[in-house]
Amino acid sequence: MPNIMKYLEFRGDLTFKQDELNEVDKIILARFSYLPFKEITLGKKDNIEDISNKMKDLSLNKFIWKSDKEFIIKLGKSKRYKDLKITDYKEIMDLQAEKQFAAVTIWLPHRLKYISFRGTDMSLVGWKEDFNMSFMKDIPSQKEAVKYLNDIGKKYFGKLIVGGHSKGGNIAVYSATFCEEKIQRKIKEIINADGPGFDESVINTENYLNVSERINTYIPQSSIIGRLLEHEEDYEIIHSTERGLMQHDIFSWQIEGTRLKRIQKLTDESQFVNKVVRDWLQNTTPKQRENFVNIIYDVLISTDAKDFNDFGVDTFKKISAAIKSYKNIEKEDRKEIEEMFKLFFESAIKTLKDKRKEVKIWNYYLQQEMKINMN
């Protein structure tokens, strides 16, 4: 079964004049913002072929995900994508504000612009910002995305598609929800590729209702990240060849022609994790979650690591530093951490018991149905 890489091989020779923009293209462009633009000089008239030529000699460690090097090389060689102009790249890494943000604008035919928002990279602050969603109504990258969308909407003529993967999908929806009204009218579609949801205070707004029918959300069958928090919009379940959390990688999503391959239902694993997290969120307060996330983050940065790749160097030394940092935190803080883990395990046990109860009830009714049919 083909994936995005195979799609670029068998569809890449068809221009958008020969075959119009489809949903696989939109997922590919959502992924585009992960590329390491800060490692090159982006010219005002650069297209994807130019960018591919500039990135092909970069070492693999310059890419957030190693598969992205092959990805940009294939894009640069394809007739379909190579001539698309790329502008307005913006990247912000602000440790103090706990903000990790990046976005880029892709020029499509007929004055259509695709704004691609980057998801979480490997930085600790990027992941910290993600976890901040568990207790904050708005995170800094969401607000930055609104500003970026407003700026692009005013700067250029034409309709807009706004999209992203993971946190990028979340901030794509958020930016479309809270941008200026005149910009919102220019938005043709919003692509959310396995991005988390929102606090109820967001999805219950009139702003959200105004764009909800334009949101296309895609999640793999064992989705965990894409089912966090609240979603009001419908979603399409996509077949991934990976397992568990690895299904979050859209290069594992399968394709049929010009569409992503649908399947009927989510796995039991996805349903279980979703119920556990929801139960845990219901049984903890925002303040508890804030303290929990902050303490864990402080322990991690005490190792002097800036991203998760740093833990591959002097691993034992960093683990020792983390343990020492944890031992040195206040007794009350350690007690709170232990309590939060205890509540999480209690949620897992409760969900397991509920699942077993559901199975027993289902089996009972199935047996009764069989008796009726036999009689």
What is the pLDDT averaged over residues 76-103? 96
**137: confidence class by pLDDT, cuts 50, 70, 90:** confident
* Mean pLDDT on 289-310: 85
Note the pLDDT tens digit of each residue in 350-373: 777 766 655 454 454 445 554 554
Q: What mean pLDDT comes out for the span 77-90? A: 97
pLDDT (mean) for 280-292: 88
Q: What is the pLDDT of residue 53?
A: 97
Place of tokens 């976890």: 131
pLDDT of residue 127: 82
Can you tell me the mean pLDDT for 62-83?
Answer: 95
Task: Please check whether residue 273 is in contact with residue 250, taking contact to mean a CB–CB distance below 8 angstroms.
Answer: no
Q: What is the mean pLDDT of residues 301-318?
A: 80
- pLDDT (mean) for 225-241: 84
**SS3 per residue for the chain:** CCCHHHHHHHHCCCCCCCCCCCHHHHHHHHHHCCCCHHHCCCCCCCEHHHHHHHHCCCCHHHCCCCHHHHHHHHHHHCCCCCCCEEEEEEEEEECCCCEEEEEEEEECCCCCEEEEECCCCCEHHHHHHHHHCCCCCCCHHHHHHHHHHHHHHHHCCCCEEEEEECHHHHHHHHHHHHCCHHHHCCEEEEEEECCCCECHHHHCCHHHHHHHHHEEEEEECCCCHHHCCECCCCEEEECECCCHHHHHCHHHECEECCEECECCCCCHHHHHHHHHHHHHHHCCCHHHHHHHHHHHHHHHHCCCCCEHHHHHCCHHHHHHHHHHHHHHCCHHHHHHHHHHHHHHHHHHHHHHHHHHHHHHHHHHHHHHHHHHHHC
The pLDDT of residue 367: 53
User: Is pLDDT at 251 greater than 80 in this prediction?
Assistant: yes
Closest CA to 337 of 299, 303, 375: 299
Average pLDDT rounded to a whole number, residues 162-167: 96
What pLDDT shows up at residue 271? 85
- Partner residues linked to 153 by β-bridges: none
pLDDT band at 334 (very low <50, low <70, confident <90, very high): confident
Q: In this predicted structure, what is the pLDDT of residue 356?
A: 63
Per-residue pLDDT, averaged over 111-124, amounts to: 92
Here the tokens at position 106 are 């892709």
For residue 333, what pLDDT is reported?
81
Give strand pairing partners of 155.
none
pLDDT digits (tens, 9 = 90+) for 35-69: 999 999 999 999 999 999 999 999 999 998 889 99
Tell me if 284 sits within 8 A of 270, measured CB to CB. no
